[in-house]
Amino acid sequence: MSSFFFFNYQGINYNPVQQNSKLEQLATATRDIPTEGEGSFHRTTFGAKADNVEVGMKAGRRGPYLLSDPIMRDKVSHFDHERIPERVVHARGDAAHGFFKLHTSLEDVTHAKVLTDLETEVPMFVRFSSVLGSAGAAETAREVRGFASRFYTEEGNWDIVGNNIPVFFIQDGIKFPDLIHAGKPDPKAGLPQAQTAHDNFWDFISLSEESTHMASWALSDVTIPRSYRMIQGFGVNTFVLVNGEGKRTFVKFHWKPHLGKHSLCWDEALKLGGQDPDYLRRDLQMFIDAGIFPKWELGVQLVAEEDEDKFSFDLLDCTKIIPEEEVPIKWVGTMTLNRTVTDQFAENEQVAFCTQNIVPGIDYSDDPMLHTRNFSYFDTQISRLGGINFSQIPINQPIPQACPFLNTLRDGYSSKVIPNGPNYYPNRFGNNPGPASVAQGGLHHPPYKVGGLRQRELGEKFYEYYDQATLHYNSLSDAEKANLVYTATFELGRCDDRGVQERMMDRFKHIDYDFAKNVAANFGIDVGEPVRQNHGRKTDGENPISMLSKHNIFKAEGRLIAMVAPDGFDYQQAIAIQKAFLALGNIVAVIGTRKGPTYGKNGEQLDTQFTFESARSTLFDSLVFLDGNDQYQKTLQLGRAKHWCIEAYAHFKALAVIGSSAEWASKLIPITNKIDDGKSFSVQDGVVVAPNLTNQDTSLFEKLTHGAYDAATFAGAYAGAVAGHRYWHRDNSGLVY
């Protein structure tokens, strides 16, 4: 099933990508292979044209191979050294180009142009990833997701290297090797891959109180996202903004997806791991290449330096959030991703994000995890990318407005520039290249008071571990809390050490006593008496914790819809649905019994993208079963077609069943085919049942508009159902799927 989703769909409006300074710069390093002329010949790495690239030199037709063959040596030797070390963490991921446009200036708190210039579109490169899995790991494994964004600004590269969760497992970077070693496959068995469901990981967590808050997030549905286009992003650490007068302001960075944050369900994620291990990468590329560009809002939480100590937690503790009730998010700009990479290795694999990459007007706080990351992210690139000159790789170069980057640094492996000038400072050549003042655009590190004894310690407030873990739990919906119990049971159920399970129950008791009891019941563990009272507080804001929050975004856009159309389908319905949902910004794939043409009940033709066997319902956000003649209905009696319907319902997805398909579906899933007199459809837990759909109902699809769904019409009702994403309150316990 590896070829899923790369299909040509005639209805898609491909939007041309506007060039920007970074894309133009990358174009100079891109080699397009012509189909004729001198450039069409295979040349060796030393520039000679190869006379044969398929058969090597031998001593006689059947004699021994000759190592004197320069073409064989050139090809095979280069192949032998193609691979570089994969990232220790975040090895599995995908990336895309785009741009950022500021709409609200922050000039009162920073002089960084990227956060004050309302006119310039800043080129961007963004990489989404999973943390623990290797480069070939299944993407739907339960994992924290990386969200690394680079702004190619006129003042240099600025990187926000974050995750889709606003907190982290540990407070001090010295523990990072232990955390990752615990999460990675056991060194003896090499198991498991890309999973935390094993003894070593939960052993570490159970013995690290500071990890409790992050563990509650890791067990939640955010670790199985529906799409990279539907994840939040967080800078995790606290940074500092600096204005022209040198005043410092603490800042937390947020990304909010325009499509809202949405997840898969666990059964679906498990199945997708085998059906399409590249599911998230394919989804990102498919929608961007279709011209349906994902967008995010950049937000900031700002805290004046003099207010640093007013909170119950420490701003420098990356295992804590700043609740929006205490500091609202200010939304300042929009990021749009509008181009996939040209070459995965040259761009996705070689990009070197570093938290230390800042521009004038942005500075670091004293967050101990951030300072370790500043060292580690830079340090790891040196070995991974073959030396200290990784910043000269095209994807890592600042844009021409900030290049050529002139300094006195020299040499090293694979230097790609030929410097001509002094290699020391000060010098007799006008002291060039030399430092820039703040007024000249230099980095700005205003003085602030520090002091204390040299010691291995953390701030006093760092040692409160459970308040925000409970806050996170309380802020989830009932459905998400139920999923949390299920996930914790699965994760710890893959552990064999009873001590690990018992210690985690104690951690869960500190989050919420009933939560701990519900999990412990699945292990026969007595959790004893409560150790602390649930404080009852919740938090909800514009970048919400709960996916069912009123602040989350629900719209029928950016979805992949399967239209089931084997021979004998109603062509008028098919075309109306296809056009309407494409216009809303979705992709509608046609499912038939063969790859190629499928025929309507009057002989009309549509091209299919998938068959019942080459895909499964797991790959789609919603399914439409059309009306059709006897031939159509005969096909729906196939076991695979029935399974598509039952499985999609059990995965809480929106469905539409029309005409004769409504009666068929009512025998498979808990819906009724009976509707009120005078109506042509009803909506039942996200299933739009339309046994009597009229031509007039079908024609109303043309009136669908973005964000305005008239629930009184079938078209509007189905669009509203798709917007709802999942209907978590369904009872699927009696279904076999």
CA pair distance 150, 394, nearest whole angstrom = 14
Any idea which residue has 């031998």 for tokens?
A: 58
Check if the beta carbon of residue 675 is closer than 8 Å to that of residue 682.
yes
Q: What is the pTM of this model?
A: 0.95
Provide the token pair at 306: 């003099």
Average pLDDT over residues 244-270: 97
Amino acid 404: pLDDT: 65
Residues 508, 514, 518, 521, Cα dihedral to 10° = 90
Using N-to-C axis directions, what is the helix angle for 266-275 and 478-493, rounded to 10°?
A: 50
Amino acid 11: pLDDT: 44
Amino acid 707: pLDDT: 63
What is the set of domains in the chain, with CATH numbers? 37-80 (4.10.91.20), 93-382 (2.40.180.10), 560-723 (3.40.50.880)
Using N-to-C axis directions, what is the helix angle for 199-206 and 498-511, rounded to 10°?
A: 50
Does residue 16 carry a pLDDT above 80? no
Amino acid 355: pLDDT: 98
CB atoms within 10 A of CB 596: 9
Does residue 4 carry a pLDDT above 50? no
Amino acid 6: pLDDT: 46
Sort strands 233-234 and 248-257 into parallel, antiparallel or unpaired: antiparallel
Residues at the binding site for heme are 377
Does residue 657 carry a pLDDT above 50? yes
Q: pLDDT: is 508 or 12 the higher one?
A: 508
SS (H, E, C) 286-309: HHHHCCCCCEEEEEEEEEEHHHCC
pLDDT digits (tens, 9 = 90+) for 178-207: 999 999 999 999 999 999 999 999 999 999
Average pLDDT over residues 281-305: 98
CB atoms within 10 A of CB 244: 14
Check if the beta carbon of residue 692 is closer than 8 Å to that of residue 680.
yes
pLDDT digits (tens, 9 = 90+) for 683-703: 999 999 999 888 777 777 877
pLDDT digits (tens, 9 = 90+) for 436-450: 999 999 999 999 999
Closest CA to 649 of 545, 556, 735: 735
pLDDT band of residue 13 (cuts 50, 70, 90) is very low
The residues annotated as belonging to the active site are 90, 163
- φ, ψ dihedrals at 577, nearest 5°: -65, -45
217 SS3 class: helix
CA pair distance 205, 473, nearest whole angstrom = 17
Does residue 678 carry a pLDDT above 80? no
pLDDT digits (tens, 9 = 90+) for 589-632: 999 999 999 999 999 999 999 999 999 999 999 999 999 999 99
pLDDT digits (tens, 9 = 90+) for 26-43: 999 998 888 788 778 999
**To which H or E segment does residue 561 belong?**
strand 560-564
Work out whether the CA dihedral 480, 553, 235, 404 comes out positive or negative.
positive
Does residue 706 carry a pLDDT above 80? no
Mean pLDDT of the chain: 94
249 SS3 class: strand
DSSP state, residue 659 = T
C-alpha pair distances (Å), 90 with each of 64, 162, 180, 281, 512 = 45, 11, 11, 14, 32
Task: Please state the length of the chain.
Answer: 737
pLDDT digits (tens, 9 = 90+) for 51-74: 999 999 999 999 999 999 999 999
pLDDT band of residue 10 (cuts 50, 70, 90) is very low
C-alpha pair distances (Å), 74 with each of 43, 62, 343, 395 = 10, 22, 22, 26
Average pLDDT over residues 382-400: 94
pLDDT band of residue 710 (cuts 50, 70, 90) is confident
Amino acid 708: pLDDT: 67
